[in-house]
Structure 1
Amino acid sequence: MAVTRLARLGVLRADSARCLCGQASRHLITNSTSSFSSSANGNGSIQSEKKEVNGVQLHYEKTGSGDHAVFLLPGALGCSRTDFGPQLEKLNKEKFTVFCWDPRGYGKSRPPDRDWPLDFYGRDAEDATALIKALGLSQVSLLGWSDGGNTALIMAGRYPELCRKLVVWGSNTYVCDKDIEFTEAIRDINKWSDGMKKPFIDVYGEAYFCEQWGRWVDAFHRIKHKNNGNVCRDQLPKIVCPTLIIHGQLDPIVVQEHPDYIHANIRHSRLVNWPKAKHNLHLRYADDFNKTVEDFLLDP
């Protein structure tokens, strides 16, 4: 869904949120202060770089040396260091080269501060596509979580020649009344626990995060009221690459109708429901998730 790590936030489902927050916070990637750095880990190195794309210095991280390029897309106000630790660390570095970006105004892709046009998902898709091309990659597999899944769906529809395979989870192609109700309920971060706010505040500082979170909620609501709720429904029939949709059936954020709709409208797609998983299934069940994704990506 458009909401990224909202299962941390505990306004509607405090028990689930506490569990998710604790799990996710254990997988933060160490932040670096330079435009390029390399941090050693048991499986290789994670390099941090920036590239100027569409007038913005976009930050990304890279690891592995495999022939199969994989591009990770984080969720709302997410970035590589908060959203994809287990994937950057543990996806097979001999078979894959893994990239993860920070969208403009997120993470270390600042300045500029984030702004929120009506088509902000589309703009992120154009930025990510331009970054991939600037990196010299002719084809990649896209892995998108939550908001990042929305962006990945747009990319796969607009640029089918770029997308080798597609994996999305926690995403939505339209905004329904339940989505509006939930996002309004978690607008005020002062109602969150300190532990729930910490991963965001560590990246952004409290003032920036508070301001941007409220703007994200407003932007999400505008899609419902000014764009007939459409995020990217029109792109689904254009997607031709093999697509895997994963859904945690205990997800307190994304109702089942969203993955069902994506599956029904993308040819060559497969929907896998995980009965015990929630919104952050790639963090909570990282090893199972990574194996599922690797098997899908390597299947000829």
Structure 2
Amino acid sequence: METKQFTLVGWDPPGYGKSRPPNREIFTEEFCLQKDANLAGLLMSKLGFSKYSILGWSNGGLTGAYLAAAFPNEVQKLIMCNSPFRMSERSVKVAQMLTHLENWPPAQQKSLVRTYEKKYLKKMLTDWEQLNIIGAKDQACFEVFKVELKKIKAPTLYIHGGKDILILEEHPIGFQGYIPNFRLHQLPDAPHDHLEFLDEFVKISQEFLQL
């Protein structure tokens, strides 16, 4: 990203990365990603940013969507990459697969264990699996999410990898039906992890932000 043109602010939501303590709480009265979004909005205000754009990958894109809905006057543009639209039987199977660390690529597994230690990492993954099971059966949270999406005023770009085996094309199409100013950019050969097509990801994102 062109650092002379953009100021980049990165964060770890509570319970992730270096934002510990506290440990991650998945089962909260307010949906955990929506809670993250509200905290991120308060953080940006504390840092003195009254106008900004949001870029999020996977569940970070969902947090970005909640943030854009909650702070429509502050969020100028929203970029999501390979973000899930809803929980389903497929997302449950994916979450179940990811609870087994041996299913992760060795380098990623090593990095995660080094950051979190196995016991805490296993708990986070198991909690996320249980949340997907609940979310796939109970659509109440999804109905709230759809209402929130309609509040988004910011022009929104969704970058989707055609070889993403976790997030299929139905997910960006789902967002398209609820976010008013939405555009979809397909990358036919890109997988789920944006770091594997980082140069193209940055180029597309930067061009959108410069419009």
TM-score by length of 1: 0.66
1:224 pairs, out of 108, 122, 136, with: 136
- Mapped to 2, the partners of 1:229 and 1:133 lie a distance apart of 27
In structure 2, the residue matched to 1:104 is 14
Match of 1:150, as an amino acid?
L
- 1:259 has 2:172 as partner: yes
1:113 pairs, out of 23, 29, 48, with: 23
1:276 pairs, out of 166, 186, 189, with: 189
Distance 1:142 1:192, change over 3 A: closer
Structure 2's unaligned 5+ residue stretches are none
Distance 1:254 1:191, change over 3 A: closer
8 Å contact kept, 2:155–2:182:
yes
How much does 1:253 deviate? 0.3
How much does 1:172 deviate? 2.0
8 Å contact kept, 1:167–1:243:
yes
Higher percent of residues as helix: 2
How much does 1:264 deviate? 2.5
Q: Secondary structure at the match of 2:8?
A: strand
- Mapped to 2, the partners of 1:153 and 1:227 lie a distance apart of 18
Higher percent of residues as strand: 1
Match of 1:264, as an amino acid?
G
C-alpha offsets along residues 157-183 of structure 1, whole Å, 9 cap, x if unaligned?
121111010100111232122111221
In structure 2, the residue matched to 1:126 is 38
- Mapped to 2, the partners of 1:210 and 1:227 lie a distance apart of 26
In structure 2, the residue matched to 1:94 is 4
When the two chains are superposed, the root-mean-square deviation of aligned CA atoms in Å is: 1.7
In structure 2, the residue matched to 1:77 is none
What is the percent sequence identity of the aligned residues? 31
Structure 1's unaligned 5+ residue stretches are 1-90
In structure 2, the residue matched to 1:50 is none
Matches within 5 A, 1:1-300: 91-118=1-28, 119-190=31-102, 192=104, 194-228=106-140, 230=142, 232-281=145-194, 283-299=195-211
- Mapped to 1, the partners of 2:175 and 2:80 lie a distance apart of 10
Match of 2:87, as an amino acid?
V
